Structure 1
Amino acid sequence: MFSIRFTVITLFLLQLAVHAYGGMEHFRILPEPQSVEIMKGKGLHYNDLSFIVNRSGEDYPVLGTMLGSLPHKERNGKGVYLSLSEKEVPQSPEGYVLQVSEKGVFITSSGQAGLFYGCQTLEQLMEDSRDFGLQIPALKITDYPDIAYRAVHLDTKHHLDRMEYYYRMVDKLARYKVNAIIWELEDKFEYSSHPEIASPNAISKQEMQAFCRYARERNIEISPLVQGLGHASFILKHHWELRENPESDWEFCPSNPKTYEFLYDLYQDAIEAMPYGKYLHIGGDEITAIGIDKRCKETGKTAFELQMHWLKQVCDYAKSHGRTPIFWDDMPLKFAGLWPQILGDETESELDKSWNTEKLDQAIELFPKECIYMRWNYGDATKPAHKRLLKWYKEKGLPVMAATAASAGDSPFMPREYTKANYIKGFSQLVVENDLQGILATAWDDGSPHLETVFRGYIAQGEFGWNPDGRTVEEFAEAHGQREFGLEAGKGKTDFIQELEKAFFFFDGALVESGRRNPAWGTTHFKLIELPDKTHPGQWTQKYQKRIEQAEKEQLRFEQIRRELTEARQEALRNRYTLDIYEQNNHLQNYPVRLLLALRDLDKAAGEENRLKALDHLETVCNDFYAMRRELEAVYSRTRFMEQPDGYIPDMNHHNHLSAKSNNSDWLYLYEKPMVEKILSYIGEKY
């Protein structure tokens, strides 16, 4: 009995000691380092550090808030020492060794990027030491990225954020060791060669150059994506003469020499605006109508041959201007009949019978060797067919880059499934296994989600692009909450994000009988649900019973999210704006629930007095829509422009993207706004 009691007391004292001296289980470095060794001896607290010096003789890397406040001169106390060395450090120029002891902190790397990332890691250690009253233990971190090129995608085709917000975005991406951005410009950039293309609020070349310089100082390389053969509405809505199909602004004609003259002008402008990037992404995906006009037919080439002819021309241009071209690879796969299999779930044994690359093999000479083929898969990239395709590319000696998704356009408000972190992790592992050229986390603007809701996916790319086998997705979600908000990991403090992701599934179609607003597949015509008939009380409730039952469950989910968000806002140490965005999204997703439950109450009200009370409540809920909209847009507009500027010409839009449905913000409430109008009209007519 004594020995048991002694053991319990001993364990308790050990736990107290670990907390007092800052055991690493309370620290969350993101991305997770490759190796952390706890050393003998004492560590230090964040406020023990009184200076930082760079012994390499080079410029200091850009420092975070805490390190940046330290003087660059030795003084009394403990310091941070930076040095460059080729010995006993990772081979990667982004790798570093960070050592903490009671004497101070020593960061060593073979390159400036490694010193920068070592300082980012130290900043996080200091942050946790400050936030949770912990001592940083004596330790040695040996760290380096498993993937050299770790990019995120910025798509501004349908909206533009304020320029200062993009600067803050770069600071955050650098903090999590993302080292590249591929920016899909469309009409949000002032092309000096063709100014008619630019939106009135477009970013100037000089502004973009300054922004790229700022990013470069933080080890982030920015390269342009200028859509080419297809996705060309931003150009062809102005230049009908370059269209393949006069009725569509989607595709250029690849047989028209002026197509290339025009694209080369745009490429030159983009390269000059983003002078430090090594890539030129030329798009080339989702082509539907090549080969139908007279010029193309006269060539005698197939649609696939015409596309590959275009690809060869633009790749030659990129190469001659010092850029490596990147091309979305889906059209060759559709030509070869492999697309259904790439998206499917066939097993290895099933693929043995059906897998056929004969068409691709025969066309291999049409594939430019200087081009990087961007293999995009926004779901589970580890399925057998997809892995076979990567093997085919490797066998043919074609360079490949991965494209996963931080937001795949499946919701206008919230990316789903841990902000796609599972898929990001899986594809990152394949990049390492197959020695691919890098990875890009796309964030399509089809539904224009606020970047604050996408950032967890971007940060997941930082996490798993650096160390794909480090954390589980659930562990990452906890680490994200600690790093972003100062909410101690392991306590489920950000579980509300997962619940909010789930809530939007019901929101998507809660108010319609038919229709689709999922921006990944394009919007369709819709039919709103019926309204109660007071001459047949209870009939409406019976008809929509399952929907109402789900609405009741969603109301409980809303209350849970609201409670957890309130607690997070109270405890958060930073990034409260992100929580503001989540809060507004929570109110929005709950709005159809409130309407449904108010309609249920009206339908079930017995007696004239109760019916009038229910009617009054329904009218109040309808009028609440306008207050909710004002508040949401006030919060959103702190960082983004909520309307297209005067004079903006909308696309014909081949894909009918949700966020292109209106030049103002009406598209955000595609079903909610007309439903409110329908109910208010119904109240006026029936009551």
Structure 2
Amino acid sequence: MKEYENKAVYCQVLCVLKNYLYKVNPITSRLNSFKLPYILLSVILTLNVSNSFGFINDLGSNGYSLIPAPQESVLTGRDIVVDESWGIYTSVDSNSIVLKRLRHGAKELHNLKFTGVGAGKIILKLTNDAVAKDLNPKQGKQAYRINIEHNVIRISSSAEMGLFYGVQSLLQLLRPVANGGFNLPEGVIADWPDLELRVVHWDTKHHQDRIGVLKRYLDWAAFFKVNAVAFEIEDKYEYPSHPIIGAPGAFTKEQMHELTAYAMERYIQLIPSVQAPSHMAYVLKHEQFAHLRADDSNYHICMCNEDAMQLIFDMYQDMIDATPGVNYFFVSTDEVYYAGICELCGDEYNEENRSKIWVKFVNRVHKWMAKRGREMIAWVEYPLFPEHIELLPAGLIDGIMTQGRSTTWIENENKAGIKQLAYSSIQGGEYLFPNYFPTIYRNKQTEGRLAKASNTVPGVKAKGANPIGAFAAAWDDAGLHNETFWLGWATVIQYAWSTNKPSLEQNTIDFMNAYYGYESPYLAGIYKSLQKGARFYENLWDKRISTERKPGYGSSYGKGIGTEKSDPYMEMPDLPSASDLSRGSVFLGKYAKKITAASVLKPEIDELINKLFYAISHVSRNRYNLEVFLSIAYLEKYTINTVLRLGKIDNYLAKASEGNLSNKEKIQQLVEAFELGGQILSDEQNMWSSFQEVWGKSRFEKGQSVGGRDFVHILDDVKDHFADRRVGLDYMLAPFERMEMKEWQNQLRQVIISYAEKNNEEVKGMEVKRLED
């Protein structure tokens, strides 16, 4: 009842305010008469006022986007106009990131340079009473208030971090108008985070971004109020204590210092994430560490070998030294399937002892980290037994609290004093593009990663968890470009920041407006079409027992289980006999459904490409993001066209084998098939050249050689990541390569020549290959 009574009071006071404002002179007396109504507006914010009305929140209904959505806002329904004549007034140090972001962000995002020659004022103020809420200190310093009125914008907070977030919100809200100025909604916004720590995941196991690109990522992460990045760096750091671990061209200590300082200035903790004791093929592939492998597997290090533990601590120390000033360290205890399998462990290898050895490892590392001033985050998961949770150290942060956790597990963590991060994965193993939206994936209907992420925090809270933050995982297993992750990252942060969440649909549009600009065309459809094309690509392939790699060591089910690996590929149409052109005809029968699906999808992907070209020319920022999307769309188009052309090729070959055609007509059918095969190969070469050029703008060459050092590419004994099957970027072409189209085309050429010679016919329309070629 209280909520409805408060809303009634809100509506009554707002009506009084609106009537008052509309009566005053809008040009001269309005500013002087605004103090009393604004006091009333501030009082309203002490009531239990929701920021959501119906299907869209109040900012959205007034034509504005802000992501994450603010906790509270009261708007008058009127706009104010901001232009370059406005000035910035504050006692904050002139070198503060708050001022730098306001000035540079206005210029970068809006081509707006505040000159201070007019009456408009942007006032930044540090004050302890900016937001009157019961917040813990870490939340409190992130809270801010924005008061927007005619000729005055006041941003206030108890700390510069809150001012920084207030500036980010102001920059998002500025909406361009026709006369060259910008509108803002008149009213008050009071905002703070529900969860104090909001982490996005940079996984670099199969690629290395350029330093300038990572700085841009930090800028945009801060724009969405991210305050931590889990940097899963694997072999992309030089590791001064063991340089052989670092891949050629790995980041240096100086570069990491530069990146860490850049992040810290923007109130982002650049948290090193080091995989150990499992997922260690990037280390154990090197022969000098072979003696540290558990049971001779490069996936897992012996947890009972002191030399192995010292190696892990050396790597930890290297990353601590690389990230000065950071408060956390992510000890990535990910998928420790084989804890204790090393013969040095002594105890019987069974489920209970696996759990105990895992606990021993975590406790030892936690103590080591505490001595070095780092809070430890870990994946608190298998092989841990629920009853062994009480053995873990208080203050440990569980980075993978999901709705799948049992209430017993959560209760045990709470009793043990273990902190929690609500975990959402915005990318797992999907090829080319994430499953953001509902789809059928691997023969199962899925709700989409966005919907799942939007429910993670309330879902784990409902089961008794008390998360201090959220973790937005974006795994590099399938080698997706990081530009595909921004919608997912922003969505996880949206629902970690604000309890009064907007609808998922509004969240998506708010992201588009913030990331691409208010004047952007409708882009959600582009994302959905990209996803659809990516699922066609992924679902297209047959799988055969791998001839490219040996069987694995094991799987999550145990040693020796699930060891067989597969190679995605597609069969080529059967070649005809050179003597009489007889052939099998299984291709069309086998792939009829996929050919039909390709023909249905082709117009949508063709239109997707047109929409992307249009969008690139109309968005006001982040055009490169859409350029990456365009490269993916062209790969999807190539895939669709290849399937359709192979269907035509099979038709040509089938006609050639029919007895009612003359030899000359049969040869012409064969030549048509040959030329179409050549077109497939030619289109692949052209598409791939442009594809590599686009991705190379933001990334170093995958598996690069630098300074006389070559990348050591040895496959993981357990994991078989799609992106790891090739040294370079061509893992996306690997399924096509396995079709051996060039060899198939050469064989068809010989069939054509032999059949023509046998029947004394001339071959027309096919380039004759010279002997020396």
TM over 0.5: yes
- Residue number among 599, 602, 622 corresponding to 1:555 in the alignment: 602
2:391 matches 1:366: yes
1:498 positional shift: 1.2
2:549 matches 1:502: no
1:152 positional shift: 0.5
Determine which structure has more spread, i.e. the larger CA radius of gyration: 2
Structure 1 residues 320 and 104, CA, compared in 2 at 3 Å: closer, same or farther?
Answer: same
Q: Which runs of 5+ in 2 are unaligned?
A: 1-58, 438-447, 549-554, 557-563, 577-581, 656-664, 753-773
Match of 2:123, SS state, is: strand
- Residue number among 407, 426, 430 corresponding to 2:455 in the alignment: 426
Report the equivalent of 1:53: 89
2:194 matches 1:143: no
- Residue number among 300, 315, 318 corresponding to 1:266 in the alignment: 315
The residue identity in structure 2 corresponding to 1:27 is Y
Contact 1:28-1:482 within 8 A present in 2 as well: yes
1:496 positional shift: 1.4
The residue identity in structure 1 corresponding to 2:90 is N
Structure 1 residues 108 and 320, CA, compared in 2 at 3 Å: closer, same or farther?
Answer: same
Report the equivalent of 2:304: 255
After TM superposition, the structure 1 = structure 2 runs for residues 147-296 of structure 1, keeping only pairs within 5 Å, are 147-238=195-286, 239-240=288-289, 242-296=291-345
Match of 1:331, SS state, is: coil
2:483 matches 1:457: no
After TM superposition, the structure 1 = structure 2 runs for residues 359-508 of structure 1, keeping only pairs within 5 Å, are 360-361=386-387, 363-375=388-400, 377=402, 381=403, 386=406, 389-411=409-431, 413-418=432-437, 420-430=449-459, 434-486=465-517, 488=519, 492-508=522-538
Structure 1 residues 570 and 622, CA, compared in 2 at 3 Å: closer, same or farther?
Answer: same
Larger deviation, residues 668-677 vs 179-188: 668-677
1:560 positional shift: 2.9
Contact 2:222-2:268 within 8 A present in 1 as well: yes
CA distance in 2, matches of 1:98, 1:523: 56
Structure 1 residues 461 and 526, CA, compared in 2 at 3 Å: closer, same or farther?
Answer: closer
Structure 1 residues 202 and 26, CA, compared in 2 at 3 Å: closer, same or farther?
Answer: same
Report the equivalent of 1:617: 676
CA distance in 2, matches of 1:579, 1:527: 29
The residue identity in structure 1 corresponding to 2:713 is P
Contact 2:174-2:184 within 8 A present in 1 as well: yes
Match of 1:159, SS state, is: coil
Cα deviation code 1:337-366 (max 9, x no counterpart):
xxxxxxxxxxxxxxxxxxxxxxx22x2443
Q: Which runs of 5+ in 1 are unaligned?
A: 1-21, 337-359
CA distance in 2, matches of 1:604, 1:78: 72
Contact 1:514-1:528 within 8 A present in 2 as well: no
Match of 2:67, SS state, is: coil
Cα deviation code 1:197-233 (max 9, x no counterpart):
1112111111111111111111111111112211122
After TM superposition, the structure 1 = structure 2 runs for residues 534-683 of structure 1, keeping only pairs within 5 Å, are 534=576, 535-536=582-583, 540-605=587-652, 606=655, 607-608=665-666, 609-646=668-705, 647-653=710-716, 654-675=718-739, 676-683=741-748
Structure 1 residues 298 and 425, CA, compared in 2 at 3 Å: closer, same or farther?
Answer: closer
CA distance in 2, matches of 1:376, 1:201: 35
In percent, how many aligned pairs have the same letter?
23
Match of 2:326, SS state, is: coil
Contact 2:83-2:182 within 8 A present in 1 as well: no
1:98 positional shift: 0.4
CA distance in 2, matches of 1:52, 1:113: 18
Larger deviation, residues 535-544 vs 396-405: 535-544
1:581 positional shift: 0.7
The residue identity in structure 1 corresponding to 2:613 is T
Cα deviation code 1:78-122 (max 9, x no counterpart):
121000111142542111110111122100111111100111111
CA distance in 2, matches of 1:597, 1:436: 50
2:382 matches 1:331: yes
Report the equivalent of 1:318: 369
Contact 1:107-1:115 within 8 A present in 2 as well: yes
CA distance in 2, matches of 1:666, 1:547: 23
The residue identity in structure 1 corresponding to 2:451 is N
CA distance in 1, matches of 2:180, 2:471: 34
Match of 1:240, SS state, is: helix
2:89 matches 1:89: no
Report the equivalent of 1:76: 118
The residue identity in structure 1 corresponding to 2:334 is D
Contact 1:48-1:77 within 8 A present in 2 as well: no
Structure 1 residues 523 and 395, CA, compared in 2 at 3 Å: closer, same or farther?
Answer: same
1:469 positional shift: 3.7
Structure 1 residues 55 and 24, CA, compared in 2 at 3 Å: closer, same or farther?
Answer: farther
1:678 positional shift: 4.8
1:475 positional shift: 1.6
Report the equivalent of 1:355: none
Cα deviation code 1:626-674 (max 9, x no counterpart):
1111000000000101321221112431202222222222212120223
- Residue number among 50, 67, 76 corresponding to 1:39 in the alignment: 76
Q: TM-score, normalised by structure 1?
A: 0.85
Q: TM-score, normalised by structure 2?
A: 0.76
CA distance in 2, matches of 1:179, 1:648: 33
Match of 1:643, SS state, is: coil
Structure 1 residues 543 and 555, CA, compared in 2 at 3 Å: closer, same or farther?
Answer: same
1:686 positional shift: 3.6
Contact 1:315-1:370 within 8 A present in 2 as well: no
CA distance in 2, matches of 1:556, 1:71: 44
1:400 positional shift: 1.9
CA distance in 1, matches of 2:322, 2:673: 59
Contact 2:84-2:115 within 8 A present in 1 as well: no
CA distance in 2, matches of 1:515, 1:54: 67
Contact 1:511-1:592 within 8 A present in 2 as well: no
Report the equivalent of 1:11: none
Larger deviation, residues 205-214 vs 45-54: 45-54
Match of 1:171, SS state, is: helix
Match of 1:38, SS state, is: strand
Cα deviation code 1:160-186 (max 9, x no counterpart):
011110011111111111111011121
Larger deviation, residues 322-331 vs 523-532: 523-532
Match of 2:80, SS state, is: coil
Contact 1:46-1:127 within 8 A present in 2 as well: no
CA distance in 1, matches of 2:585, 2:181: 59
Match of 1:39, SS state, is: strand
Contact 2:516-2:619 within 8 A present in 1 as well: yes
1:142 positional shift: 0.8
Contact 1:431-1:439 within 8 A present in 2 as well: no
Match of 1:142, SS state, is: strand
Report the equivalent of 1:350: none
Contact 1:251-1:289 within 8 A present in 2 as well: yes
Cα deviation code 1:428-480 (max 9, x no counterpart):
33466632121111111112211111122122223222125422222222222
The residue identity in structure 1 corresponding to 2:749 is G
1:260 positional shift: 2.2
CA distance in 1, matches of 2:545, 2:166: 51
Contact 1:48-1:78 within 8 A present in 2 as well: no
1:595 positional shift: 1.4
Structure 1 residues 596 and 88, CA, compared in 2 at 3 Å: closer, same or farther?
Answer: closer
